Structure 1
Amino acid sequence: MQSYGKSVSAIGMAAVALFSCTAKEQQDRRPNIVFIMSDDHAYQAISAYSNRLIETPNIDRLAKEGMLFTNACVTNSICAPSRATILTGKHTHIHGKIDNNFPFDTTNVTFPQLLHRAGYQTAMFGKLHFGNNPKGFDEFMILPDQGDYYNPDFITNRGDTAITGYVTDIITDLTLDWMKNRRKKEQPFLLMYLQKAPHREWIPAERHYREFTKKTFPEPETLFDNYEGRGTAAKTAEMNLLHHMTISADNKIYPEVAEELGIREASNWGKNVFLQKYKRLNEAQKEQYDEVYGPINEAFKKAYPALNDEDLMRWKYQRYMQDYLACIAAVDENVGRVLDYLDENGLRENTIVVYTSDQGFYLGEHGWFDKRFIYDESFKTPLLVRWPEKIEAGSTSDEMVQNLDFAQTFLEAAGLPQPADMQGESLVPLLEGKSEQWTRDAVYYHYYEYPGFHMVKRHYGIVTTEYKLAHFYYDVDEWELYDRKNDPFELNNVYSDPAYAAVVDKLKDQLAELRVKYKDSEELDQRFIQKYKERGLIK
């Protein structure tokens, strides 16, 4: 993040004035906030949602001791835009980070800045993914761009550094070190604990790849989806496990083995990424890696000549799940370390702990990996919140909530005013069990990065608990409607079904109202398309 400029918002100044004259005893009652976010962690891979794939006992603690949200979702399912939305409480077309390439509008004021001005001690450790100088933090150590799983580099406000080890463990070590040694006990704190895992290319810790590469996982019902009943976008997206998941970077087949087998891919991207990541390992790490992945390569060499496309798809799915879920095992262990510290040091009762991801992720559903779509596996995101002073243990909320809402939630919890230009809604009423005060019945979504990585077409839409209406545009003009109750796998586009004509009309009216409410428009769509052309990203 770049500089926000020298001006201080009127709201921020008011907050400082308010709390500068507040008694210390009252300040101490403001809740601490621990915001835990992993990258690309699918809700399907948290056992509080489903234990079909993995057990995550430590993350599940937050559901057992707090609230599980079943309809949490994002405004734009891609990493950096999602993170900017979380910080600002604004849709991506407002804060400017519409994709991973476009710049963030640095005139935005983020909720950490407002908390910091109001007397919170603030720290960030892990993966931010955009900008190298996050504002509003007393201390930060963040990974450059995507970061590395092994022996990662860090950008800090005290100088850059590299640390030997596994990134999930290291980020947690840094987090715990700050809490133990530099946290000021007289101040409330905001701690952003941001894991890189389980982002692609899914390189697990040695203790976990030894275990998980021996496991076999159940296949999703839609692994061999042929996309009938859907529009052009689903049929042309480039995120199919068989055709688009790379054999080297993703499935860990050594490039020389792939070459020996005559496997040719669309580009050298997978080969180059594999070599780059492998070179980061020190000699001891390489020896351990080769001890496990070497035999996998040998077995693949023997099996590959006889594999048909269906066989290879199944093999790729298992390799994907083994590494992806192994990465999550390390996340879960380390979340447990942080929760244990809070519980053992008198910080449990008055601390809000949030666990979420920057969006959902496909785990073979529809034959896919990655995210980007408004479809559920991409659009929905895990959200578990513990706040013992406010939340009834073991509670659940089915309301439509978004990453758009975090900023206002934390500001209200801290007793701070919410800036008028923020677009979310505070979750505090839901956390307190006052669902009757929640008025939202639909959320707005907009994805922009096309043409681009994975080639998911531009689209916007409206989602309720019952239906999902999406408009795909730019090089197509197609509408899709899904009945979320009767078609949970989203296999049948019923937009043209006469039985749903009244639903379409109602949702289109609601969608138009949301576009106005959130200050989005066709004119703005065209403006972003023109900016893509000016940058040479499209013709």
Structure 2
Amino acid sequence: MKKIIQIIVLAVVAMSCSNTQQPNIIYIMSDDHAAHAIGAYGGRLATLDPTPNLDKLASEGMLFENCFATNSICTPSRATILTGQYSQTNGVLDLDGVLDTSKQYLPVEMKKLGYETAIIGKWHLKIEPSAFDYYSVLEGQGKYFNPEFYEKGKGKYPNNIVKTEGHSSDVITNKVISWITGRKDKKKPFFLMYHFKAPHDWFENAPRYDSYLADVKVPEPENLYSQPNWGSEGTRGRNDSLIHEIGTSVSRRHQFNGYVDHFKIDKNIPDHEATSMAYQMYLKKYLRCVKGVDDNLGNFFQFLKDNDLYKNTVIVYSADQGMMLGEHDMVDKRWMYEEATRMPFIIHYPELVKAGQRSQSIINNTDFAPTLIDLAGGKVPDKMQGKSIIPLLNGEEPADWRTGTYYRYWMHLTHHDIPAHFGIRTKDYKLIFFYGRHWDLKQEGDLSRNWLTPDRSFKVRPTPVSWELYDLNKDPHEVNNVYNNPAYSEVIKELKVELKRQREAYNETDKAYPHIQKNVDENWN
């Protein structure tokens, strides 16, 4: 009986999504906006009320608690979102990857369904976004102030540069509103990707936010200062020999790349106090950029309401990945730890999604494109490896829904001295394998931060191989690696079976990288 009801529900949903009155679809994405920096997600920063407009959007729609990036770094994540594919399949492993025009699947599929398509804001995929009907995208990373855009209709790419004045969050929002207002065929549905640069570091907020949080102490994570049972030889080195090398730090821990030194805090100030000072400065700069995003979204949502577009438009809010905000004495993303790999995902569409829902189902960014295509009434292409989450929007988790999500970070030691790793995350556990090699052997021997001199950077080189296991129910902040605890031996066996299955199913093995496969084979058990 339950299965019959589920089939009926899905049929109704399919009919509603294939209705001739297709919904407009707006996909909003910020850069590095961690879920735990959104009030609706709770956590230590929620008391600061950083995102009232996003919180309201979540209260009127559905919030996903367990949404994860499959490769937590800007360019690969954006490629996954557009293709519905894992990194080896779409070909974008790292920041140097280029998403060929022929693989810009999402806008192509939306155009087939009769949508007018546009992308405005950050693109970061190194090639013209020509699959969209209209684009106005930042040059590379883009500037916080007076950003320049490649804009369709302003000449031949890449000479079609348009200069603007103002803060990027304001400029991008104004461009979005102008594009919606200026559309010629208002009867045609539109699909818009609205992408902020903020809050990517190096943070620069609009001046009106300079006083925001000035007199407030931002709550600090306990593992900023102490985590004696965290990590493994792959992240700490043998006998902690890499503790001053691995991962950009808030504190003075990292020899070359710690924020106490970046902020030029007096060397005579004791370590704990200096770390707290650096953390407060870092978080306030970050949250001021977040505040600018949220305020712009408040203005944008009001614009939609004023133009009768709010209730009949699918609005999705997400980020390209999470962000370490001092947890484990780390900043930046890339890690498989919760704060870096968890993505916010909020969807608002009153015609389909009931208000005030929160889902615990595991989704990842391969699911975004299939979901948006499904909502538009289309058929998800077989080449996409993700799944539509429409059943989850109705509170029904299909029997064959994933129980764990695969993750892989490829850029061994590059930029932030973070070792390459892959793993699997279920609702209860996280298993991570640090395999200690760069995929591109030509990069081994280079400086990890190759824009600096050798006396200010470590080299890309092999690092120790190791496993880490975290019991997420007992240890949600991941400070106690239990991989070597015999009590978890059966759990580890089961997780490795699923990890291997997903690596094979999603074309994520290392057949093309025998030096990595050797480490996998020799250290699997």
- TM-score (norm. length: structure 1): 0.81
- The residue type equivalent to 2:31 in the other structure is D
1:488 equivalent to 2:450? Answer no
SS at match of 2:70: coil
Q: CA deviation at 1:226?
A: 4.6
* Alpha carbons of structure 1 residues 106 and 227: separation in structure 2 relative to 1, 3 Å: farther
Equivalence for 2:489? 501
State the aligned residue count. 455
Equivalence for 1:288? none
1:380 equivalent to 2:342? Answer yes
1:366 equivalent to 2:328? Answer yes
Equivalence for 2:405? 443
Residue by residue, what CA displacement relative to the aligned partner does 1:474-526 show, whole Å, maximum 9, x if unpaired?
A: 33321111111111011111111110000011111111111111112131344
Alignment of 1:310-321 (within 5 A): 310-321=272-283
SS at match of 1:82: helix
Match of 2:508 among 520, 527, 532: 520
Equivalence for 2:247? 238
- The residue type equivalent to 1:505 in the other structure is K
1:47 equivalent to 2:39? Answer yes
Q: Unmatched 5+ residue regions in structure 2?
A: 1-16, 155-159, 237-241, 438-461, 519-525
Q: CA deviation at 1:225?
A: 3.2
Supply the distance in 1 between the matched residues of 2:267 and 2:103 (Cα, whole angstroms): 55
1:339 equivalent to 2:301? Answer yes
Equivalence for 1:147? 142
Residue by residue, what CA displacement relative to the aligned partner does 1:212-252 show, whole Å, maximum 9, x if unpaired?
A: 3343211111111355341134334221112424568x64x
* Alpha carbons of structure 1 residues 137 and 183: separation in structure 2 relative to 1, 3 Å: farther
Equivalence for 1:79? 74
Q: Is contact 2:18–2:376 with CA below 8 Å preserved after alignment?
A: no
Higher mean Cα deviation, 227-236 or 66-75? 227-236
- The residue type equivalent to 1:204 in the other structure is N
Supply the distance in 2 between the matched residues of 1:44 and 1:409 (Cα, whole angstroms): 24
Alignment of 1:87-102 (within 5 A): 87-102=82-97
Higher mean Cα deviation, 434-443 or 364-373? 434-443
Q: CA deviation at 1:402?
A: 0.5
Q: CA deviation at 1:74?
A: 0.6
Supply the distance in 1 between the matched residues of 2:123 and 2:195 (Cα, whole angstroms): 7
Residue by residue, what CA displacement relative to the aligned partner does 1:390-422 show, whole Å, maximum 9, x if unpaired?
A: 111000100110011011001111111111111
Residue by residue, what CA displacement relative to the aligned partner does 1:442-474 show, whole Å, maximum 9, x if unpaired?
A: 111111001301111111111100011111103
Equivalence for 1:197? 198
Equivalence for 1:175? 176
Equivalence for 1:411? 373
SS at match of 1:198: coil
1:421 equivalent to 2:383? Answer yes
Q: Unmatched 5+ residue regions in structure 1?
A: 1-24, 252-257, 259-299, 531-539
1:471 equivalent to 2:439? Answer no
Alignment of 1:293-304 (within 5 A): 304=266
SS at match of 1:435: coil
Higher mean Cα deviation, 40-49 or 345-354? 345-354
Q: CA deviation at 1:437?
A: 5.6
Supply the distance in 2 between the matched residues of 1:28 and 1:225 (Cα, whole angstroms): 58
Equivalence for 1:289? none
Supply the distance in 1 between the matched residues of 2:423 and 2:108 (Cα, whole angstroms): 31
Higher mean Cα deviation, 105-114 or 389-398? 105-114
Q: CA deviation at 1:105?
A: 4.7
Higher mean Cα deviation, 436-445 or 457-466? 436-445
Q: Is contact 1:412–1:428 with CA below 8 Å preserved after alignment?
A: yes
Supply the distance in 1 between the matched residues of 2:413 and 2:98 (Cα, whole angstroms): 17
Supply the distance in 2 between the matched residues of 1:183 and 1:99 (Cα, whole angstroms): 38
Equivalence for 1:296? none
Higher normalized helix content (fraction of residues): 1
Equivalence for 2:357? 395
SS at match of 2:136: strand
1:29 equivalent to 2:21? Answer yes
- The residue type equivalent to 1:327 in the other structure is C
Supply the distance in 2 between the matched residues of 1:53 and 1:227 (Cα, whole angstroms): 29
* Alpha carbons of structure 1 residues 185 and 529: separation in structure 2 relative to 1, 3 Å: farther
Match of 1:118 among 89, 113, 117: 113
Supply the distance in 1 between the matched residues of 2:138 and 2:128 (Cα, whole angstroms): 11
Supply the distance in 2 between the matched residues of 1:512 and 1:183 (Cα, whole angstroms): 51
* Alpha carbons of structure 1 residues 61 and 183: separation in structure 2 relative to 1, 3 Å: farther
Supply the distance in 2 between the matched residues of 1:219 and 1:61 (Cα, whole angstroms): 26
- The residue type equivalent to 1:42 in the other structure is A
- The residue type equivalent to 2:124 in the other structure is H
Q: CA deviation at 1:56?
A: 0.8
Equivalence for 1:210? 211
Match of 2:414 among 452, 468, 483: 452
Q: CA deviation at 1:27?
A: 6.8
Supply the distance in 1 between the matched residues of 2:178 and 2:323 (Cα, whole angstroms): 31
Supply the distance in 1 between the matched residues of 2:235 and 2:216 (Cα, whole angstroms): 30
Equivalence for 2:167? 166
- TM-score (norm. length: structure 2): 0.83
- The residue type equivalent to 1:239 in the other structure is T
Supply the distance in 1 between the matched residues of 2:31 and 2:489 (Cα, whole angstroms): 38
Q: CA deviation at 1:527?
A: 7.9
SS at match of 2:433: strand
Q: CA deviation at 1:139?
A: 1.2
SS at match of 1:34: strand
* Alpha carbons of structure 1 residues 526 and 215: separation in structure 2 relative to 1, 3 Å: farther
Supply the distance in 2 between the matched residues of 1:225 and 1:152 (Cα, whole angstroms): 40
- The residue type equivalent to 1:206 in the other structure is P
Q: CA deviation at 1:146?
A: 0.8
* Alpha carbons of structure 1 residues 344 and 76: separation in structure 2 relative to 1, 3 Å: same
- The residue type equivalent to 1:176 in the other structure is I
1:434 equivalent to 2:396? Answer yes
- The residue type equivalent to 2:352 in the other structure is K
* Alpha carbons of structure 1 residues 27 and 503: separation in structure 2 relative to 1, 3 Å: closer
1:329 equivalent to 2:291? Answer yes
